[in-house]
Structure 1
C-alpha cells in the first residue's frame, strides 16, 4: 500500500508510503488521493496531516520513469495532470485544516502537495526544490499560483528558473514553510484545541481572497454573522467568562 489514511483521534494522517522510490508519486497514487482526502474530511478528525510513513523523506515528486513513458501520450498526460490538479484542489479546499510535515527531500510534485496544504512544518534536514526547468517542462498554472501565493513572484521565479534545492532555514526565511521542528505535534495540538467552525470558515474566507475576491458579498457577510448563533461562540464566551479552557466539539 503506497498511500493510506490513519485516523488517530483528532488527527487524520494521510501517509505516503513508497520508501524504496523515495515516495515518488505514481498515477495510481494521484488517482487515490481524492478519495482518501474525502474520507479524512468526513471523519471525526479535526485536522489532516500529510506526511511520509517513513522518516527522512517526504516525496521525490512524480515517478519520473512512469512519467517519461507516458508523457508523450496526450491522453495519459491529460489524465495525469487532471489527477494532480484535483488532489491539490481537494487539499487546498478541504473543509478542515491541513498540515504537511516534511522530513527530508520535498521535490517537484511533492513540493506541490505540501504547498496545497494550509501549513508546512519541516525538520532541519528537509530540502525543497521545484525542478521543471531541469526537464525542459513548464510548471502548471495552478501549481505556480500555489507557489506565488506562498513566497511571492520573485522568489517563485528563482526557484522555478533554477530548480535549486534549498534547505529548511532558507525555506522558512522566504515563507515556503511555517516552522522548523522535529515533529508537527505542537502545531497540530494548537489547531485541534480551537474552534473547528472558526477554522473552516476562515479557510474558506482566505481561499476567496486568494482566488481574487476583495469585497464582502452576501455569502461572506453570512459567514461572519452566522458564527454568533453557533455552539462554538456560546462555548467560547462561556469559557472566557468562567476562566476555563474552551471545549469545542
Structure 2
C-alpha cells in the first residue's frame, strides 16, 4: 500500500486535503488515520485561509473505515483501542483547525466518511452524493463524539432515524435535514463559497471561527481586530468602493 492515501494541494489561500484511494472507494485503513492527521496538520500550518477535504474520485468521497480489517478486531483488544484512538485523534484535529474547514462531498459518503465530513465546519454536497451511517448493519456502534456531532447537525430524531434504520439518503434529503449546508451542481468547485471564504480577511476568519467554537480569548480577538492590518485594508477598500486585497 502507498505511504499515504492523503495528499495536500496548496493553491493560493486554499489548502486541499485530497483523499486518493479510489480503488477501495477511499475506505480508510487503521494505519492511515495518522496519515490523515499529519496532512491536516500541514494544511493548518500553511498560509491558506481555508482548508478543504475532498476526494480525487468523484464516485466516492469516503466509504468509511476499511471493512476488510474489521474481522481482525474480533480477538485483538489492543487493535480495537488503536483503531478508535487513531480515528478519534484525526477527527478531533480537523475540528481543532483554527481556520475554516469545508468538506466537498461527491459520490458515496458512508460510516466514518460521514464522521470525516461532519468534522468540518461546512459540507457542500454534489447532486449525486449519497450518505449512510451503517453500524447497525454490522453489529457495532459509533464513536460518541461523532454521534454528538450528528445530533447537533440534524437533531436527535433525525440522528436516530439515520442510525437505527441504517438507511441511505440522497443529497437533497441530506440538505433538508441539515447534514449538509448546500447542494451544488458542480460540487468540486464548491459553487462560489470557496472564493467567498478565501477572499475574506484572515484575521476575521480565524477570530470568527474561534468565537463560534467558544474558545478562550475571543473578547480580546474582537478588540484587537480594530488594530489589525486586515481591518485597515478592509476599511480603506470599503471607503473607496473596491474589493479588499488581504495579504494573508
- Which deviates further from its counterpart, 66-75 or 175-184? 66-75
Q: Structure 1 residue 225 and structure 2 residue 223: aligned? A: yes
Residue 86 of structure 1 is matched in structure 2 by 89
Q: Structure 1 residue 22 and structure 2 residue 25: aligned? A: yes
**CA offset at residue 5 of structure 1?**
1.1
Residue 35 of structure 1 is matched in structure 2 by 38
Q: Structure 1 residue 49 and structure 2 residue 52: aligned? A: yes
Residue 149 of structure 2 is matched in structure 1 by 146
- Which deviates further from its counterpart, 110-119 or 226-235? 226-235
Residue 213 of structure 1 is matched in structure 2 by none
Counterpart pick for 1:110 among 110, 113, 122: 113
Q: Distance in 2 between matches of 1:71 and 1:144?
A: 23
The TM-score, its normalising length taken from structure 1, stands at 0.92
Cα displacement string for residues 58-81 of structure 1 (whole angstroms, at most 9, x for unaligned residues): 011000111221354221111111
**CA offset at residue 148 of structure 1?**
1.3
Equivalent pair of 2:104/2:123 in contact (CA under 8 Å): yes
Q: Distance in 2 between matches of 1:194 and 1:152?
A: 31
The TM-score, its normalising length taken from structure 2, stands at 0.93
After TM superposition, the runs of 4+ consecutive aligned structure 1 residues lying more than 6 A away are none
**CA offset at residue 15 of structure 1?**
0.9
Equivalent pair of 2:64/2:113 in contact (CA under 8 Å): yes
1:121 is paired with a residue whose SS is strand
**CA offset at residue 185 of structure 1?**
4.9
Counterpart pick for 1:169 among 159, 172, 191: 172
Equivalent pair of 1:93/1:204 in contact (CA under 8 Å): no
Residue 119 of structure 1 is matched in structure 2 by 122
Give RMSD over aligned pairs: 1.4
Counterpart pick for 2:131 among 128, 136, 145: 128
Q: Where does structure 2 lack aligned partners over 5 or more consecutive residues?
A: none
2:226 is paired with a residue whose SS is helix
Residue 157 of structure 1 is matched in structure 2 by 160
Distance 1:23 1:239, change over 3 A: same
2:192 is paired with a residue whose SS is helix
Q: Distance in 2 between matches of 1:223 and 1:67?
A: 45
Equivalent pair of 2:61/2:107 in contact (CA under 8 Å): yes
1:51 is paired with a residue whose SS is strand
Alignment of 1:177-196 (within 5 A): 177-181=180-184, 182-183=186-187, 184-196=190-202
